[in-house]
Amino acid sequence: MHGVWREPVPQSKKARLRSWPKKTPVPPIDFGDLARFVYPVKTLECLGAATSAPRSTIKTWLNGSHGVPGWVLAIVTAEIMQQVGRR
């Protein structure tokens, strides 16, 4: 028997396969989810009162078929900040 004598490798030092979790993309938050978070009850009515926009326009914003103007996003974001400040 020729060769090199090797010391036994402890279990903690043995090379093992590492399985990392796959990176799954996080879906973006759409305006409908954000508005329902801020106004969980009667979302249409609350957005209508805050923006004075017609119901049909608000429905298109909530279902994502049309983009939301920046000033509406500012109103909803300000409401989130007010709710966070009250806690």
Identity of residue 9: V
Rounded Cα distance, 71 and 76, in Å: 9
For residue 50, the SS3 value is: helix
More confident residue, 6 or 39: 39
The three-point CA angle 58-61-63 to 5° equals 110
More confident residue, 8 or 34: 34
DSSP state of 2: -
Residue pLDDT, tens place only, 42-83: 999 999 999 999 999 999 999 988 899 999 999 999 999 998
Rounded Cα distance, 2 and 4, in Å: 7
- The average pLDDT across 12-23 equals 72
Residue 2: is its pLDDT beyond 70? no
pTM of the model: 0.66
